[in-house]
Amino acid sequence: MDELTGTPGRRTDAAKAAGPGPRELHAMTLYAGGRSIRAVAHAMGITEESVKSYLKRGRRAYREAGVDVGTRTLLRQHAIREGWLAAE
């Protein structure tokens, strides 16, 4: 993750195979990092409904690839494994 912009770094093979786009990954990374829907929307300059849509589409793409990120906890664990977030 780029610490200055808050955007995910390079996409790993798992992310590429699963199919979420850069906006979905950005929203998922911010959300997995502990930000609220409102805070993610503010950081990305979009509406809360758009954030919810990005999260839903990103989760669907991962589910179709066999990766369960259905809760914030599972999403955070996946984000750490993929290198989007640093382990604390």
pLDDT per position as a tens digit, 7-54: 555 555 555 555 789 999 999 999 999 999 999 999 999 999 999 999
Q: How many CB atoms sit inside 10 A of residue 43's CB?
A: 16
Residue 4's pLDDT is what?
38
Local confidence band at 78 (pLDDT 50, 70, 90 cut-offs)? very high
Residue 62: partners with Cβ closer than 8 Å, 6 or more residues away: 18, 20, 68, 69, 78
